[in-house]
Structure formats: C-alpha cells, structure tokens
Amino acid sequence: MLQSFKLFFNCNLVLSRSYSGYYVSRVRYLKRLKEDDEACREALKSGNFLLYHKLSPLLRKTSNGIYTLASLKTSDLEHILEKVGKDKHFVNESFLLGCTDKGEPQFSLEVGDLDRSALEQECRGMFVDLRKAFFMLPGPESPLAAKGQALLRWHQTNCFCSATGQPTIRNQSGSFRVCNSSGITYYPKMAPVVIVLVSDGSRCLLARQTMFPLGMYSALSGFCDMGESVEETLHREVAEEVGLEVENIQYSGSQHWPFPQSSFMLACHATVNPDKTQVNIDKAELEDARWFTYEEITEALRKPPLDPRREPPVFWVPPPYAIANQLIQEWANQQQLSRKLHGLE
C-alpha cells in the first residue's frame, strides 16, 4: 500500500516537473515572439490562425454536431486568401495570441474587408457574433475566442496617438503600438471590474440591469475608479447599487471579459449582517436586486444555459463561462456543506 502510494506520488512528481518544464519553455518562446519581430515573422510561417469578420469569430461544425473555433494553418490560409482575391502576405497583419498544446503559435486575423460568404464557403465555417459563439463553443475555447477578439478590437481603436494625433505603428506580434512622433508606447488594456456575490448567511443577493436577457440575474459588479483598491471598489459599488455595507471579503478568482471593451473581472465573496439586509436599489443602475434562497439557486444552476431560441425561464443565472456562475456555484457548494454539517441534508 505504502509502496503503491510512493509510486503514485513519484509518478505525479515526474509528470508535474516535466509539465512545468514544458510550461516554462512555452512561455519563454512566446515572450521571444512578442519582443522579436523577426522571430514572430518566422513563426507566422507555421502558425494556426483564428479568423474574425468584423470581430465575429469563425466557427466550424464538427461531424458530431459540436461547434468549434476554426483554426487554419498558414498554407491553407494563404490559399484561401488568394482564392478570395487577397494577397497571401495579408497573414502578416495577424496578432499573436499564444500557442497550442503542441507548442504551435496561434494568431488572430481580422478579415472584415473581405467577402463574408465567400470566406465562409472557402473555410467551411461561419462567422458568429461572440455573444452567441460563447453559447456554442466548448468551455476552453470561449476565452481564446474572447482574447482574439479583444486584441483585434484594441488595435482597431488605437491606431492614433492620443497626444499627437499621429498614427501609431504596431510591432509584429501586436503586443504594443508606438507613436514615432511622441515616442509613447501603447499596450493593450483591460478595465478592472469587481464582481461580488453578497450573502447574508442563508441567501445570496443577485441583481439585473435592463440590458440583461430576460430573467437573468447576476452578481453585483462595477468598474474600479482610478486609484481604488479592489476592496474600496467592492464596498463602494455595493453601497451605490443596493445601499448595503459589506464585510468579510474573500477573493475567488479572475477572468478576462471581452464586453463591452475588455474588462478584467476580479471576483469576490462578501457578507452582510443578517439583520441589515434591506436593499435600496439605485434604479439608474439596476432594474431589480433580490435575495435568493439556496433552493432557488440550486434549481437555477441545474438549468442548461439559455437557448436564445427558447422562451426564457423566469429566473436563470449566467452560464458557466461567466465568472458570476463560478461565484454562485461556490456559494451553493458552501451552503450545501454547512447544511450537511447542521444535519439539514
């Protein structure tokens, strides 16, 4: 028994060491591609490309009916570009995203100036709005689709220097743009947002904005003001939006969020005094905010992500790719545990 445990332990150690070695070499390779234009140009020759048409990613339906992000090899992409009347050197306009599990470089390319249906036909895929694509793609592909779009959007909206009005020039990987006139270097930006699931011990507080899909409630959120800490933003946003004072802040995780223009979501849990739970909603920000019981939450978590073609149910929570879902899931797990401890389940 002890021996088999040792064997298992040693195997895992070897595996984790080789994995970490692979991870280090992968990130160092990417760092070189980011900084070295010549190395990045070379990598473009054996790249994998995600295509976007006016920021909508190209998806493909597999033989078993699952949608996936379409990834094209350099030679296939060059061939397709030539077929739709574009010079094959257009691949050099791509931006570096990362690399695949096999260590192959990945790029995103905006092809919005080219004929959409001709491209869809040549690529055997379709360009889908990212908000819809999120519902269609398997879990790990959603963040990649989001990153590709975010990088393209940032470059499209940062073509000029805000100090001189002169054009900014990208490096080959797209990790920055520089204004040769002012010397200012611009790096892709995310706006920090705090998202918090507030609990009174037995219920959690969810809210909805008028712009949310019908029936969807989410955790409270808000952009950080200049100079604020995560804790300060969290206290302020909860006070502004629902008039409550929170305590016991616990960090849960983070996520890049491409809407509206690249946010960096910092997710936390917090509690309120169970005797002070009366919400006072800022109607300019929120349409509604309500306390939900454990039973209501577990039922909402069991529902499949909303199918846009179906009637929305009365109450549902954001789907698993949104960090709000993670917070709600964690809260439900913690409630379940404490119910078990108190013999309620």
Ligand X SMILES: NC(=O)c1ccc[n+]([C@@H]2O[C@H](COP(=O)([O-])OP(=O)(O)OC[C@H]3O[C@@H](n4cnc5c(N)ncnc54)[C@H](O)[C@@H]3O)[C@@H](O)[C@H]2O)c1
Which residues are near ligand X by CB under 6 A? 191, 193, 195, 218, 221-223, 237, 255, 257, 259-260, 263, 265, 285, 318, 322-324
Residue 40 partner contact from ligand X, Mg ion, none using kind-dependent CB cut-offs of 5 to 8 Å: none
Q: Going by DSSP bridges, is the β-strand pair 56-61/67-69 parallel, antiparallel, or unpaired?
A: antiparallel
Nearer to ligand X, 99 or 216 (CB): 216
- Least spacing, CB of residue 62 vs ligand X, in Å: 27
Nearer to ligand X, 174 or 258 (CB): 258
- Least spacing, CB of residue 73 vs ligand X, in Å: 32
Residue 323 partner contact from Mg ion, ligand X, none using kind-dependent CB cut-offs of 5 to 8 Å: ligand X
Q: Of all residues in this chain, which one has the CB nearest to Mg ion in the complex? A: 222
- Least spacing, CB of residue 51 vs ligand X, in Å: 25
Contact 274, 286 (CB under 8 A): no
**Alpha-carbon gap, residue 133 to 144, rounded angstroms:** 11
Nearer to ligand X, 71 or 218 (CB): 218
Q: Going by DSSP bridges, is the β-strand pair 105-110/48-53 parallel, antiparallel, or unpaired?
A: parallel
Residue 22 partner contact from ligand X, Mg ion, none using kind-dependent CB cut-offs of 5 to 8 Å: none
- Least spacing, CB of residue 112 vs ligand X, in Å: 23
Residue 195 partner contact from Mg ion, ligand X, none using kind-dependent CB cut-offs of 5 to 8 Å: ligand X
Cross-strand pairs, 265: 193, 255
Nearer to Mg ion, 153 or 208 (CB): 208
Q: In terms of Cα–Cα distance, which of 127, 194, 192, 184 is closest to 160?
A: 184
DSSP conformational letter for 176: -
Alpha helices in the chain (DSSP H): 2-35, 37-43, 74-83, 116-123, 130-136, 141-156, 230-242, 294-302, 323-341
- Least spacing, CB of residue 228 vs Mg ion, in Å: 14
Give the residues lining the site for Mg ion (CB under 5 A).
221-222
Opening angle at CA 266, ends 251 and 258, nearest 5: 155
- Least spacing, CB of residue 289 vs ligand X, in Å: 11
**Alpha-carbon gap, residue 243 to 234, rounded angstroms:** 12
Report helix angle 294-302 to 323-341, nearest 10. Answer: 130
Nearer to Mg ion, 283 or 342 (CB): 283
Nearer to Mg ion, 78 or 241 (CB): 241
Residue 305 partner contact from Mg ion, ligand X, none using kind-dependent CB cut-offs of 5 to 8 Å: none
Q: In terms of Cα–Cα distance, which of 163, 133, 147 is closest to 67?
A: 133
**Alpha-carbon gap, residue 297 to 137, rounded angstroms:** 25
Residue 263 partner contact from ligand X, Mg ion, none using kind-dependent CB cut-offs of 5 to 8 Å: ligand X
